[in-house]
Chains A and B, each alone.
Chain A
Amino acid sequence: MSPHFEPAIGRYLHLDLFGRPHRLYVEEAGQGIPLLCLHTAGSDGRQYRGLLNDAHVTANFRVIVFDMPWHGKSSPPVGWQDEEYKLTSRDYVRMIVDIADALELDKPVVMGCSIGGRIVLHLANEHPERFRALIGLESAAHVAPYYDVNWLDRPDVNGGPVCAGVVSGLVAPTAPVAERWETLWHYMQGGPGVFKGDLHFYMVDGDIRDRVDSIDIRRCPLYLLTGEYDYSCTSEGTLDVARRTGAEAVIMKDLGHFPMSENPPQFNGYLLPVLEKIRKL
């Protein structure tokens, strides 16, 4: 293989979030309609490497991926050692809106997966006027806990492997081996308690079942894509949101809970038609 750079550039963005200074890592590639991408709980923006490298996407979309505070190459805020990280709906919505403003994005498309797929439902409900369209990957209104999340952050269990261990089955069995283990590697690299803190939003605070019916897709189009092998955000969960909102939903073959990361070509095949529709809005 000859040495080469990928087209994406990465920079550190300094901004205030929740009244405190933050340093966030942001990658982007492409030009055109801004497409702001949200990674899953306990992972980071590397999940979107396949999107940032797909010329069919970046020809018409400016793909922007940030690592949430505490994740990836973004830092936790000063004083983090004296607090427990817990993601809430309010902070997650605020973070996305403030980052879009800081980057001066004009009516961006926001696409999120898992917790990101959940928060786009909150964005659709609270800020439909701010976004050109929303794309929910592995999006459901609520997921009840199905294991004790305390295992993810305790000193007598190595946090990296256990975080990868609880999500490994969410990757489709048909995913390419390299992409499967790349996806799990990101989970192994999360900071202590961060995945668990994200799951507070996913399994407790982010429950939006009682507000799904008030989402108006005429104010902001909503597209839902869910992998058939996802038993966390299930096809049924996604189709329920689709039925209640009128959003378009597609159940994706041979994909699980991390479609953009576990099998990028397979996922991009489902995403590109959605992006074409958004271009024509």
Chain B
Amino acid sequence: MLDRLPDLVNADANLVRRGRFVSTTFLVAIDDADYLVRIAEGRVAGVTPGPFITPNYSFALRASRESWDKFWQPLPPLGFTDMFALVKNKLMRVEGDLHPLMANLLYFKDVLASLRKEAR
């Protein structure tokens, strides 16, 4: 799923422009499977699947596969439309240095939502 992220984000010129000041690596956990997503000036420079011994990232988004699968549906069901909906219902854990995330919240939300564009 996440392997589609570079193509989807980097093809969206306006999304890349909005993220032009973002350079960081964040972690997405789907159940126990970790992925490091490296962002360089708004472009997805790489998605590296784990496992990792000493993963180095700013912030992490952790949820079950079941939750992510619902979140990434083209029209997500009630309660799965947004990361804060998952957080409020204790289905997602957001941790680490949240500054890059919160300072670019709409950008990161749209990066994650880009995976809704087409069914797997």
We find that the number of chain A residues with CB closer than 8 angstroms to chain B is: 22
Contact (Cβ within 8 A) A168 B82: yes
Residues of A within 8 A of B99 (CB): 156-157
Contact (Cβ within 8 A) B84 A147: yes
Contact (Cβ within 8 A) B82 A146: no
CB contact between A162 and one of B78, B81, B84, B105 (< 8 Å): that residue: B105
Q: Say yes or no for B33: interface residue by CB 8 A criterion.
A: no
Contact (Cβ within 8 A) A168 B102: no
Nearest residue (CB) in A for B94 is A147
Q: Say yes or no for B75: interface residue by CB 8 A criterion.
A: yes
Chain A: minimal CB distance from B54 (Å)? 27
CB-CB contacts below 8 Å: B70-120 with A:
75-76, 78-79, 81-85, 87-89, 98-99, 102-106, 109
Residues of A within 8 A of B106 (CB): 161, 164-165, 168
The 25 listed contacts between A and B (C-beta, < 8 Å) are A146-B84, A146-B88, A151-B98, A156-B99, A157-B99, A157-B102, A161-B105, A162-B103, A164-B106, A165-B106, A165-B109, A166-B84, A168-B82, A169-B82, A169-B83, A169-B84, A169-B109, A172-B81, A173-B81, A174-B75, A228-B78, A229-B78, A231-B85, A231-B88, A231-B89
Besides A146-B84, A169-B84, A229-B78, 20 other CB < 8 A contacts? A146-B88, A156-B103, A157-B103, A162-B103, A164-B106, A165-B106, A165-B109, A166-B105, A168-B109, A169-B83, A169-B109, A172-B81, A174-B75, A228-B78, A229-B81, A231-B79, A231-B81, A231-B84, A231-B89, A232-B88
**A residues near B, CB below 8 A?**
146-148, 151, 156-158, 161-162, 164-166, 168-170, 172-174, 228-229, 231-232
